[in-house]
Amino acid sequence: MNRIIEGGCLCGAVRYRCTSEPLVRSLCHCRTCRRTAGAPSVAWVIFRSSDFAFSAGEPMHHRSSPQVQRTFCGQCGTPLTYQRNAESDTIDATTASLDYPDEFPPTREIWISHKLAWESLNPSMQAYPESSRQSQSASATEDRAVDIRRTGE
Ligand SMILES: [Zn+2]
Ligand SMILES: [Zn+2]
C-alpha cells in the first residue's frame, strides 16, 4: 500500500512527491522556522529522502544554519523543505504545502522553549523543549514537567 503523497507551492511552479508515509509529524516553534515562514509556528512531516523527489520545477534554497538547507519556491515564496546534511536520509516537508494537510496532523510540538507566549500548546500533543531527537533523559524530564503543568491547569 504505497500511496503517493504530493505537495507543492502556492503558485504551482514547484511540486514534490513521496512514495512512503511520513516517519514523524511535528509542529515546530523554533525561531528559525518562524522567521523562514513568517508564521508563528511551522508544521512538518519527515519523509525518507530516498522516497522523496521534486516532480516539477526547481526550488530555491538557503542555509539557515551551516548544516541546514531549506528550500522554497523562487516565484511565490512558499517554504517547502528542510534538510540536515548530517541526517540526509530524511527530509522534512512543510505540512501546509501538502495537497491534503488534514491527513497528516502533527503529534508533537517541538522547540517550545522558543514558543511565542500567545501561542497555546495543544494538550493532545507531546511537547519538547527543543528537538525531539535530543537525548531521551532530557526530554523525558521535560515531558513530565509539561504533564504536571497541564494537570495543574
Ligand atoms: Zn510557487
Ligand atoms: Zn523549527
In tens, the pLDDT along 77-128 reads 999 999 997 667 999 999 999 999 999 999 999 999 999 999 999 999 999 9
Strand partners, 45: 25, 93
How far is the C-alpha of 15 from the C-alpha of 6, rounded, in Å?
Answer: 7
The answer, yes or no, to whether residue 48 has pLDDT greater than 90, is: yes
- Please list, in sequence order, all residues whose beta carbon lies within 8 angstroms of the beta carbon of residue 124, skipping any fewer than 6 positions away: none
**Answer CATH for 5-152 from 2.170.150.70, 1.10.540.10, 3.40.50.300, 3.30.2320.20:** 2.170.150.70
User: What separation in Å is there between the alpha carbon of 142 and the centre of ligand 2?
Assistant: 18
Over the stretch 35-45, which tens digit does the pLDDT of each residue have? 999 999 999 99
pTM for the full model?
0.84
User: What separation in Å is there between the alpha carbon of 147 and the centre of ligand 1?
Assistant: 40
Over the stretch 78-89, which tens digit does the pLDDT of each residue have? 999 999 976 679
CA of 80, nearest ligand number: 1
Over the stretch 51-72, which tens digit does the pLDDT of each residue have? 999 999 999 999 988 889 999 9
User: What separation in Å is there between the alpha carbon of 89 and the centre of ligand 1?
Assistant: 25
CA of 37, nearest ligand number: 2
The bridge status of strand 79-84 relative to strand 24-28 is unpaired
User: What separation in Å is there between the alpha carbon of 77 and the centre of ligand 1?
Assistant: 6
The answer, yes or no, to whether residue 13 has pLDDT greater than 60, is: yes
